[in-house]
Amino acid sequence: MDDDFNMSMRKFLKQVGVTSQQAIEKAVREAGGKAAGKTLSAKVVLTIDGLDMEHVVTGKITGPDA
């Protein structure tokens, strides 16, 4: 693959990772004790306009200790 493509994709994925982690941490903080020690189901849906692409990632996140 092309170097410019590779770099732009890595930059996008880094932004997704960082902003997603911040959003999850904020939501868990705001939930207070409701998330403590619980298994939380997470889902990410990635779409790319013009490529008719949808990629779904699901997983589990364990809430922090109380």
pLDDT tens string, the chain, 66 residues long: the values are 799 999 999 999 999 999 999 999 999 999 989 999 999 999 999 999 999 999 999 999 999 987
Residues 6+ apart with CB under 8 A from 20: 44
pLDDT, residue 30, reads 95
Asked whether 6 and 30 are in contact (CB, 8 A), the reply is no
Full residue range of the structural domain in which residue 36 is found: 3-62
Asked whether 43 and 58 are in contact (CB, 8 A), the reply is yes
Count of domains forming the chain: 1
Q: d(Cα 19, Cα 15) in Å, to the nearest integer?
A: 6
